[in-house]
Amino acid sequence: MAEGYHMLNRRTFLKSSSLLALAPTVPVFVTRTARAAEPAKDARVLVVVQLDGGNDALNTLVPLKNETYQKLRPRLKIADKDAVKLSDNFGLHPSFRQADKLIKAGQLLAIPGVGYPNPNRSHFESMAIWHTAKTDPEEYKGYGWLGRALDTSGGDSYTITNDVPRALRGRRSAAIALTRLEDLTLADAGTVKNATGPEAQQDLLAFVRRHAVDGTTAAEKMSAMAKATDGGNYPGTTVGERLKLIARLLKADLGTRVFYTVQGGYDTHATQQFTHSNLLFEFAGAVNAFFADLQTAKLADRVTLLAFSEFGRTIKENGSAGTDHGTAGVVFLCGPNVKSGVIGSLPSLTELDKGEPKMTTDFRQVYATVLTDWLGIKADVLGGSYETMKLFS
């Protein structure tokens, strides 16, 4: 296997070198990959999983021996005895038994009460805030926190979603969206290359052309890695398939530092018990399988996974056995290099602001820590100064 990796890496490098000779028609991200071709093999990787729709934090990371919690959730509460104990005060939703191996190995860290001041309860607005790390409406329509980070460090990102999420959008960095490998294979590469044409003057045409070039180059890379090992025993869920595809791309060693995917469905306004349980079951199972696969491929040490949601849900269950849009939520970090258990504290469930808890950790502190202590990128791309935390071992 080691030899296979070496050969693949070498082939990728050679391909990039030959493309360099074609400059200046080479897209930005290829020249960067070529430049970073040697060290890329050991570079640290961040995988982001967006739990879309607003994950019910309180029933995900459950406060143990907490009467207030139990009163707020007459129908939805998780009993202490059912929770998967993570620390003296916290247990995970029973669905996290699916991540048994990960938890036993001390490779799962939960951070409760993560949010930002003056929480916004619109999916789109709050998601935009998490994606850009900006809370000013004028600013959170702009480039994403990871896009900006990659603008400074170089490197491309892959997203296993239909569209490129705002978090990955940068001024220069290229994000490639795909949901299956065939999405990056060209039926008639020759024709498409001929179609691209020269550099364009008009801004919009230049934009389209640049992505056409990115497309042909990505297709070339993908055909080079098509023979990479498959492997891994994943649950047949959407999020499982998506993490499996990320593992394949990791094994192909394209020099990519940031991967992104989404698990949808967390907007549980009504009769949420089974829905929420299933979502967490699928999430925990997929993450567990992902790290087991990476362990076998000897890649796990290079990878940290971050899972977040745009907000938590109302701490009090609603009249339809669901929960509505809330405020601070839980963030997960997984992998061999993160500290285990729980870091940070549960927001008070009685001292509230507009009926909901006040955040205890600013999400930008988590981002700043991941950037500086994991990716080795200066956190000033966040556009402010945020105290880092001790999240990595």
Partner 1 sequence: MKTLDPVWGVYTPSDEAPWDLRRVTHLHRRAGFAAAWDELQRDLKDGPEASIDRLIAGKVSLHSPSEFDSTANLLADAAVAANEPGRLKAWWFYRMLFGPDPLGEKLTLTWHNHFATSIAKVQDLSAMRRQNDTFRKLCRATFGELLNSSVREAALLVWLDAPANRKGHPNENLGRELMELFTLGVGNYTEADVKEAARCLTGWTIEDGKFAEVATRHDDGEKTVVGKTGKWTGADLVRVLLENPATAKRLAWRLCDVFFGEKAVSPEALQSLADGLIANNLDIGWAVGTILRSKAFFADANIGTRIKGPAEFITGSARALEMFDPAPSTLALADWCGRMGQDLFEPPNVGGWNGGRAWVGARSMITRANFVAALVDGTNAGRPKAHDPSELAKRHGLPTDANALITFHCRLLLGGDPTPALTARLAKGMDRKMVALLLSAPEYQLG
Tell me if 109 sits within 8 A of 332, measured CB to CB. Answer: yes
Closest to partner 1 by CB, 29 or 332: 29
Residue with tokens 């296997």: 1
State yes or no: residue 352 binds partner 1 (CB under 8 A): no
* DSSP letter for each residue of 163-221: S--GGG--SS--EEE-SSGGGG--SSHHHHHHHS-S--SSHHHHHHHHHHHHHHHHHHH
Interaction between residue 324 and partner 1 (CB under 8 A): yes
Q: Is 177 in the site for partner 1 (CB under 8 A)?
A: yes
CA distance 379 to 20: 31
Task: Tell me which amino acid residue 375 is.
Answer: L
CA distance 203 to 209: 10
**CB of 165: closest distance to partner 1 in angstroms?**
10
209 lines the binding site for partner 1 (CB under 8 A): yes
Q: Which two tokens stand for residue 315?
A: 């701490």
Decide if residue 239 touches partner 1 (CB under 8 A): no
Contact set for partner 1, span 214-233 (CB under 8 A): 214-219
Q: Is the CB of residue 191 less than 8 Å from the CB of residue 219? A: no
The answer to whether 30 contacts partner 1 (rule: CB under 8 A) is no
Phi and psi at residue 242, to the nearest 5°: -70, -40
Position among 205, 278, 378, 384 found at the interface with partner 1 (CB under 8 A): 205
Distant-in-sequence, close-in-space partners of 280: CB < 8 Å, separation ≥ 6: 60, 93, 95, 96
Q: Does 316 bind partner 1 (CB under 8 A)?
A: no
Minimum CB distance to partner 1 smaller for 163 or for 351:
163
Residue span binding partner 1 (CB under 8 A) among the ranges 180-188, 224-232, 372-380, 382-390: 180-188
Q: Are 335 and 350 in contact (CB under 8 A)?
A: no
User: In the complex with partner 1, which residue's Cβ is closer, 153 or 159?
Assistant: 159
- Is the separation of the CB atoms in 339 and 371 below 8 Å? no
Contact between 71 and partner 1 per CB under 8 A: no
User: In the complex, what is the shortest distance from the CB of residue 176 to partner 1, in angstroms, rounded to a whole number?
Assistant: 5
Nearer to partner 1, 185 or 345 (CB): 185
**Token pair for residue 187?**
């039926």
Q: How many residues sit close enough to partner 1 to count as binding (CB under 8 A)? A: 52
* Sign, CA torsion 393/108/49/318: negative
Query: CA–CA separation, 130 vs 309, rounded Å?
Result: 8
Q: Contacting partner 1 (CB under 8 A), which of 44, 77, 97, 121?
A: 121
Q: Give alpha helix (H) positions in the chain.
A: 2-20, 28-35, 67-72, 100-104, 123-132, 145-153, 189-195, 203-225, 238-251, 273-296, 363-369
Site string for partner 1, 79-118 (x = CB under 8 A): ----------------------------------------
200 is a site residue for partner 1 (CB under 8 A):
yes
Q: Considering the complex, what minimum distance in angstroms separates the CB of residue 32 from partner 1?
A: 14
For partner 1, the closer of residues 216 and 295 by Cβ is 216
Q: Determine, following the binding rule CB under 8 A, whether residue 194 of this chain makes contact with partner 1.
A: yes
> Measured from the CB of residue 371, what is the shortest distance to partner 1 in angstroms?
24
Looking at 115, 322, 335, 344, which residue binds partner 1 (CB under 8 A)?
Answer: 322
- Which spans of this chain sit near partner 1 (rule: CB under 8 A)? 52, 121-125, 137, 162-164, 174-178, 183-188, 191-192, 194-198, 200, 204-205, 207-209, 211-212, 214-219, 267, 269-270, 318-320, 322, 324-325, 354
